[in-house]
Structure formats: C-alpha cells, structure tokens
Structure 1
C-alpha cells in the first residue's frame, strides 16, 4: 500500500511559534521530557504559548524550576508544571506514571543522551539505549490509558539523522559481545525511536493514539556535552560545508516537534518520520537526509516492541 507523503507550508527555517500560530490548545495537557533546555524548553514554550497545560519532566528539579519560570514569563501561562523523571531509572519512570492523573493529550519524548562514553544502568543496559528508547518506551506504555482517555492523543518521538548509522542490533543491543562505539550506540537508539512510532501507531490505533518520529535538525545544545573538542570541530566543519544541513536555532529545532504534537495539518497521521516540518523522503546513499528503510521496517518494529516488553518485565 502506498501513502501520500505529507508536505506542509513550513520549512527548516520555521520556528515552533510559526507552526502553532493560530492553534488553540486550551484544555489540552502535555508532557515534554527533557523540557528544561535546548529544543525541549522551546517545545514546551510553544505548547504553553498556545494554551496547553505543560508538564516538563526533568532530572534536575532546579533546572526545571528555572525553565518553568522562564516559560511562564515569556508566555504568560500559569499552567506550566515541573515533575522529576530519570528515564534510565525504572523506579523513577514508574513513580512518574503513578503520579499522573487524568487524560494526556500530548507526550513529547524529547530527552536524550548522545555519543556518551560507555555507561550502564544497574541492569547492565547500555545507557544511550536505556535513556533514549527503553525509558521513553516505559513512559509511553505506562501512560497509555491516559493517552487513550484524551481521544486523538499524540506521541512525538524525537529521533535523529544519526539513525542512518545503525539499525537496532537485537542480538546485542547492549554491546555485551561487540566493542562499544558511542556513535553506533546513539544511532541504534535513534532508530529505535522511529521503530517505536511505527509499532505504537499500529498497537494503539484502536485507542486513537497517533505516534510519529522526527529529526529536529542540527542545533547547538547540551546534547553535545559528551563530544570531544575534536568531534565538535568535525561536526562544525561538516555542517558548515554541507549542502543539506545548516545550524538551526532551538526555536527552529522545536518546530517539527510541535508540528507533530499539535498542528491540525497532521491530524490522524501516525507511524511516520519527519524532518524540517515535512515527511522525510526515503534515504539515498551519500545523503545525510531522509529516513532509512531499517527504521520503518514493520517486522523490526514488532520485534523491538516485544524485546522492549521483555526487557522491562525481566
């Protein structure tokens, strides 16, 4: 079955505020993980500015409070909340889910870690996969009833063009039997973000829950904190010389997230991958854009879903 690629009037230069201009989110409730900095805080700001009640889910309570105060000051919203959440800690995710009451209209799985040194959770899970995928999977799964209760809820899975680097290596997700590579670990976690959107859209269609993934673009942020000076210089050079990429502001980086979270232009859409506010084309060799076939593979998505459930119930 072929589907029509979704194209919007917005581009790589559009901001989150541009995308939500004229959109009324009063009465809607949203959660943004990693909402204290980078594109997360700009996603939360745009949603709050459109009238939504926004909970920013953060590891650092002080940083969360500062972000909430800033969002309130710039939007005039009195509906910005802060809640503690450590995605790499199963107990923290469970406590967050247990504390949530009422419907949830928008869940933006935005928090992440990139190209970190080898680190592991107490369960011996590789930290990037644990944070970027398992924690968000557990959060969304735990909040499923709240999402279903909203009617037409949306889940946004923030992926990356780095998904092109690696499929999910299901027989060695946690690098127990292969040398750890920070970029391959990041890449497979970002592929997992897309596969989650594919399978969640299928699993939760009956609940009226729509799930999509996206590449926000190149944004200078705290996400790059684990990069060496050499890696940072290489990234700067690659983007400066690229004909396909350019640095975005955080406000521009948040645009595709809020498009998927709240724009009427993608009402009823699920299981797709977007970049620069439009559905991505299939990846072509030599390009840094587009979506890899391995990230949209329905069989891989179903297998990852099952493995994720097994990981969390082991």
Structure 2
C-alpha cells in the first residue's frame, strides 16, 4: 500500500458505473462477478465488459444469466461474456467453480448476497446470510488465490453495506445458536465480515500483488430486498435521507464497485472501505454513513480468517 492517505476521486454518489470506467482499457483482463445476472451485478459486469474485459457471471440460475450475458454483449459489443453456475451457500458448488477455472484472474467482484432473510440454515448448520455473504465468498477467493496471484496486480471487490453498522461479528455465536435470530443483525454481521475480509486479505496477499477493498453501493431497489417488508423499506429510506430520490439507480449503485475494481486512483490501495465513490470516513454516532472501527480492526480480521478456515474445513 502506497500510504495511509485517504483516497479521493472526482466521482460522486450520482456517478454511474460507465462514467467511472470511461477511458480505462481492460482488454486482456479477466473478471468474475458473483450475482452478475441481477441488480447492480448486471451493471458491474456491463461496465467491465464495456471496458474490454472478459467477464464471467457466476450465478445460481445459469439459464436466466445467459439472457443477461447476451444483453450485455448486445449493449457493449463484447462477446466475451460467460456464465458459470455458483451457489455460494454450497461449498461443493464453490469448489466446482474453482476447479473449473483455468488461467489468470484479474478482477473478482464478490457481489452476490442475501439480505434480511428469515432464519434459514445450510445443511452444515450455518446461518444462511453469513454462509452466503461471507463464507461462500471467502471460499471462492481463497480457492482462486493462485489465479489471482498469477495475474499480477489483481483486485478483489468485497461488496459490503452500511448495514455493517448494525453489528460486529459476534464470534461467540456467529450462527445464532444461542441468541434469538434477528435477520438484520445477521445481515449486518455478514456485511462487517465483508469489510474484515478486505483488511486481512490485503495483509496476507498484498505481497502477491492482490489488493482487496470493501464498499457500500448505496441504497438501491433490487431483488436483494425480496425479504424486506414495505415498512422496513420505508425505515431504510428515512435513514438514508428521506425521499426516494435519494436512492440510487442500478447504474449508480454499481459505480463504487467498478471504481474499486478498475480505477488507477486505487493502485496500491487495499484494506479500505468506500462509499459514493470515495473512501469512507470513520463512522460518527447518530449517522448512517462511514465505516465502523470494528470493521477495520486487524485483530478481528485475523480471527475471522482463522474461524472461516476452520468452519470450511469442518464442512
């Protein structure tokens, strides 16, 4: 990492993914976008393809994704848009994706996720949101480490959320086996894990030329909110500033992911958290912006990595 100076960019909350990637040439680069067939994943993949990258949409429903891939090809003229099956909550599916990958990987966008789901457990007994949002992406990134290291200057994008402010990782009861299940605490914990992953992955892998940053895309209406009630959506809108106009469209929502994935302004930068196309400031009590100190805590990041490895080994 070049310095601890906060990163500043010319982009804003209203910038779009295509505006962020304008002038950047990704010809010869290969990218994977999890959840690339819906929501901001589509626009993230589109921007990367528009800049010339070969893009793989890693998705649970490949049939739907083939239609999205064809649409991206039609809008960008890039026919190197592929589809591969990936269920992040299933370790066997993650392992199959990793085994099927060959060659270098320059950009990994850990975008897929589930929000505020009712209490659900995987066959291993893991809480679904932590299993999908963190453990699946952790297994994917560690499995693809050789491909990322071979690329030289690879980037991992860890899509987090302002919801990380709801909960740190509760190491004594990650999977809600003792405490009452709360869908928002579970979601918040998984989003904190996404930031901690960026911190520890950078510490471990910067020497391999792999840098990882986390981000908050913004408030966007997508299928991610399929479990969220109208009342909860109204509260989320109020917390984010009030009017529906304060929410982003999907093109704006993908902008910070694309910035983290591609911008030369982030060369040599890792282990940080971005929002609205800028490095976020420390969270201030009473606000819903910024990054919590516990999400950047290096000791918690190391502990989470160890717990994640142990959890996956026991699967």
Shorter-chain-normalised TM-score: which range? over 0.9
Aligned to 2:69: 68
* Rounded Cα–Cα distance in structure 1 between residues aligned with 2:257 and 2:237: 24
* Rounded Cα–Cα distance in structure 1 between residues aligned with 2:101 and 2:202: 22
Q: Shift in Å at residue 237 of structure 1?
A: 4.0
* Rounded Cα–Cα distance in structure 2 between residues aligned with 1:184 and 1:246: 24
* Rounded Cα–Cα distance in structure 1 between residues aligned with 2:154 and 2:62: 27
1:309 to 2:306 alignment: no
* Rounded Cα–Cα distance in structure 2 between residues aligned with 1:238 and 1:204: 36
What does 1:1-314 correspond to in 2, within 5 Å?
Answer: 3-239=4-240, 241=242, 246-314=246-314
Q: Shift in Å at residue 206 of structure 1?
A: 1.5
Give the SS at the match of 1:241: coil
CA contact (8 A) 2:215 2:274 kept: yes
Q: Shift in Å at residue 238 of structure 1?
A: 3.8
* Rounded Cα–Cα distance in structure 2 between residues aligned with 1:36 and 1:282: 33
Give the SS at the match of 2:108: strand
Aligned-residue CA RMSD in angstroms?
1.5
* Rounded Cα–Cα distance in structure 2 between residues aligned with 1:257 and 1:238: 22
* Rounded Cα–Cα distance in structure 1 between residues aligned with 2:249 and 2:265: 23
* Rounded Cα–Cα distance in structure 1 between residues aligned with 2:231 and 2:295: 29
**Higher mean displacement: 61-70 or 128-137:** 61-70
Cα shift readout 1:272-313 (whole Å, capped 9, x = no counterpart): 000011100000000100000000000000000000000010
TM-score normalised per structure 2: 0.97
**How many equivalent residue pairs?**
313
Unpaired stretches in structure 1, ≥5 consecutive residues:
none
Unpaired stretches in structure 2, ≥5 consecutive residues:
none
Q: Shift in Å at residue 240 of structure 1?
A: 5.1
Q: Shift in Å at residue 212 of structure 1?
A: 0.3
* Rounded Cα–Cα distance in structure 1 between residues aligned with 2:216 and 2:208: 26
Q: Shift in Å at residue 78 of structure 1?
A: 0.7
Cα shift readout 1:250-287 (whole Å, capped 9, x = no counterpart): 00011110111111111111000000111000000001
* Rounded Cα–Cα distance in structure 2 between residues aligned with 1:247 and 1:253: 9
Give the SS at the match of 2:215: strand
* Rounded Cα–Cα distance in structure 1 between residues aligned with 2:233 and 2:278: 28
* Rounded Cα–Cα distance in structure 2 between residues aligned with 1:148 and 1:68: 27
